[in-house]
């Protein structure tokens, strides 16, 4: 059985489940509206799972329909799939899978051939319909990404080991107040050298990346059943309003507009 929950009387955008793993997440359920323009750090694979289509719009361009699409990191877009069962699979671009996807899909919104991931998409939809565990949804969602990256697995660019270690340290300390200088020192780089190398390797500046990690923590807390205020504090935000504003800027809707189901 599932229990729907959303916060604060916000306009409902969608109902479904959110499951995180290291370097990614899946948001799966029924969409009820459209987002405003937004951009986020993760690469986004979007699948229409109930026979219809999803639509994307880039600023200055018309809406375009897709059965399956991939959106590059930091690319501004709006999204709409009213009444459709959809899966949004997010992959952090500095992860191994993300580096492969960055190499294959350079920028913007790109169509994916539905037949190439049909079996994986069908299995993911079936798992959601069956109220599968979070672990099963993770396996099914990551199978989609594995299918998209398999042919390029041996050609992915390696992340600089110092930045890889910096991300590890940052994740370990994300619940604390942490400075760029402290992280740079942990990997034996000057702050200025670290600043440039971090941006080069991840595609994002250090402080926005910290904000992205804190947002992930808050969303995971919300998906686990906590209210918006509790989720905000879990992510280190000053209050639920700060969390909601950040969520809307990155995902185009208010956090309270997502009704989260729990198995």
Is residue 7's pLDDT more than 60?
A: no
At 77-89, the pLDDT tens digits run 999 998 899 999 9
CB-based contact 252:79 (threshold 8 Å): yes
What's the longest Cα–Cα distance across the chain? Answer: 53
Residues 6+ apart with CB under 8 A from 49: 28, 84, 85, 86, 87, 121, 124, 125, 128
At 102-118, the pLDDT tens digits run 888 888 999 999 899 99
Phi, psi of 233 (to 5 degrees): -65, -35
At 43-79, the pLDDT tens digits run 999 999 998 999 999 999 999 999 999 999 999 999 9
Is residue 194's pLDDT more than 50?
A: yes
Is residue 24's pLDDT more than 90?
A: yes
Say if residue 46 is exposed, middle or buried (CB neighbours under 10 Å; 0-12, 13-18, 19+).
buried
* pLDDT band, residue 1 (cuts 50/70/90): very low
* pLDDT band, residue 178 (cuts 50/70/90): confident
pLDDT the model gives residue 263: 66
pLDDT the model gives residue 130: 96
Q: How much is the pTM?
A: 0.88
* pLDDT band, residue 175 (cuts 50/70/90): confident
């Amino acid at each position: 059985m599932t229990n729907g929950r959303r916060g604060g009387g916000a306009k409902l955008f969608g109902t479904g489940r959110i499951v995180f793993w290291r370097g990614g997440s899946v948001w799966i359920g029924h969409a009820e509206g459209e987002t405003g323009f937004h951009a986020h750090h993760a690469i986004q694979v979007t699948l229409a799972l109930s026979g219809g289509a999803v639509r994307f719009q880039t600023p200055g361009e018309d809406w375009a329909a897709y059965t399956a699409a991939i959106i590059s990191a930091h690319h501004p877009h709006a999204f709409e799939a009213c009444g459709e069962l959809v899966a949004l699979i997010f992959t952090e671009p500095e992860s191994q899978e993300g580096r492969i996807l960055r190499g294959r899909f350079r920028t913007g919104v790109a169509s994916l051939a539905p037949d190439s991931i049909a079996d994986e998409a069908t299995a993911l939809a079936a798992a959601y319909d069956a109220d599968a565990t979070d672990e099963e949804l993770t396996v099914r969602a990551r199978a989609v990404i594995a299918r998209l990256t398999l042919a390029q697995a041996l050609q992915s660019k390696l992340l600089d080991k110092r930045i890889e270690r910096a991300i590890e340290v940052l994740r370990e300390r994300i619940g604390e107040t942490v400075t760029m200088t402290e992280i740079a020192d942990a990997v034996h780089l000057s702050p200025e050298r670290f600043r440039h190398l971090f941006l080069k390797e991840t595609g994002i500046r250090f402080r926005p990346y910290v904000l992205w990690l804190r947002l992930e923590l808050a969303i995971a807390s919300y998906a686990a059943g906590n209210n918006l205020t509790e989720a905000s504090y879990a992510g280190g935000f000053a209050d639920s309003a700060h969390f909601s504003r950040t969520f809307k800027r990155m995902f185009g809707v208010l956090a309270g507009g997502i009704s989260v189901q729990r198995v």
